[in-house]
Amino acid sequence: MTEFVIQSEQAYAKVWNKARKRQRLHSFLKGLLFLLPSILLFSVFLFYPLAKTIYLSFYLTDASGATTVYVGLENYKQLFISPIFQKSLEVTFLFVVYTVPGTIVISLFLALLANEKLKGIGIFRTIFSSTMGISVAAASVFWMFLFHPTIGWLNQMLATFGVDSIGWLTDPDWALFSVSISTIWMNIGFTFLILLGGLQSIDRYLYESADIDGAGYFYKLRRITIPMLSPTLFFVITVSFINAFQTFGQVDMLTRGGPQNETNVIVYSIYQEAFMNYKHGAASAQAIILFILILLLTFIQFKLGERKVHYQ
């Protein structure tokens, strides 16, 4: 008797499991169907190029990028002994360190200012976010005029104060700094807009009750604004990080990686290897290393940074 019960229970469990499995498969396929368009697009524009890049990184190529000789890991080995690649790694990290905190702090400051309810604040919001509407190429040309060694405004301003002129883009000690300044300026618009949006969506009642408790401005900033803004901040930091790693336009326009490779960030170095030196293999190897770097850093950011993020 008991045996029978157990058997029927087992049979029941079997059927149930089967049904559940089918149900799962069903919803999985349904989900896949919804994802199909993006999977297709990703495959064409991301996964296939990624696979091809990995493939290319094991070969030497001719000028058109067709593979000629299989070299295994030789391209990677060459990279790690190449002083130029080490330099461009160093430059990229410095560039990230110069631009990301600068952009975030300035944009946050501007967003806090622009979040005040004052007459005509819209004008300031427009001005602060206006750099978003300017292309990297146009902005670079504009900064090139500012940085010009003799007729540039920056050096003319220095001259009126009696300071020696600076070779903004030609002096190896200044070039990366100059490119960073122009990059911060270019990125402020976007970051400002996102942060302002985040600020606007913070519930006003929180501030009202804090006011009733008699909290000061900075106390509110520290205890309400920043925690409530943390998801937006986290997003902005992650995106800025990735953008900084992938900077290309302004480097190409302003310094072409020079002087002495001081502004030769990885993406520019990839471009140079592939499209000027026609070494698509070495360039692919660099691209893979950049990919791994960004992946790692984003992963670390999610592990460490997200703990501090406060979701409502």
Partner 1 sequence: MKKWLTVGFVIFLTLVLAACTNAEASEDQAETETSTNQETETPTPSEDTNEKQVVTFWHAMGGAAQGALEKIVDDYNNSQDDIQVNAEYQGTYDEALTKFHTVAGTETAPTMIQVFEIGTMSMINSGHIEPIQNYVDKDNYDMTGLEENIINYYKIDDTFYSMPFNSSTPVMYYNKDAFEAAGLDGETPPRTFEEIMEASKAIHQNNSEMKGFALQAYGWLFEQLLANQGALLMNNDNGRTDTPTEIGFTEEQGKSIFQWVETMIEEETFANYGTDGDSMVSGFLAGDVAMFMQSSASARDVIDNADFEVGVAFIPHPENTEREGVVIGGASLWMVDDKDQAEKDAAWEFMKYLQTKEVQAEWHVETGYFAINPEAYNEELVKDAYAEMPQLRVTVDQLQSTTSSYATQGAIMDMIPEGRRIIETALETVYNGGEVDETYQNAVDQLNQSIESANAARGE
Binding site for partner 1 (CB under 8 A): 60-65, 68-69, 71, 78, 83-84, 117, 121-122, 125-126, 129-130, 132-135, 148-151, 167, 169-172, 256, 258-261, 272, 275-279, 281
Closest to partner 1 by CB, 134 vs 215, is 134
Calculate ∠ Cα 143-242-266, nearest 5°. 70
Return the number of the residue (84 or 294) whose C-beta is nearest partner 1. 84
Closest residue by Cα to residue 251 from 80, 92, 100, 87: 92
Considering the complex, what minimum distance in angstroms separates the CB of residue 261 from partner 1? Answer: 6
**281 vs 54: CA distance, rounded Å:** 9
What is the 8-class DSSP label of residue 255?
A: T
Structure token digits, residue 263 = 């502004």
CB nearer to partner 1: pick between 156 and 277:
277
* 16-50 residues labelled b (16+ CB within 10 A) or e (exposed): eeeeeeeeeeeeeeeeeeeeeeeeeeeeeeeeeee
Of 134 and 239, which has the nearer Cβ to partner 1? Answer: 134
With contact defined as beta carbons under 8 Å apart, do 212 and 299 qualify?
no
Rounded Cα gap, residues 170 and 177, in angstroms: 11
The DSSP secondary structure of 55-99, one letter per residue, reads HHTTEEE-TTS-EEEE-TTHHHHHHHH-HHHHHHHHHHHHHHHHH
- As measured in angstroms, the least distance from the Cβ of 105 to partner 1 is 24
Nearer to partner 1, 51 or 121 (CB): 121
Q: Scanning the structure block, which residue is given the tokens 């901040």?
A: 233
Looking at the Cβ atoms of 155 and 232, the one nearer to partner 1 is: 155
268 contacts: CB under 8 Å, gap ≥ 6: 88, 247, 248, 251, 252, 256, 257
Closest distance of CB 96 from partner 1, Å: 23
Give the angle subtended at the CA of 32 by the CAs of 29 and 35, to the nearest 5°. 160
Q: Which is nearer to partner 1, 116 or 213 (CB)?
A: 116
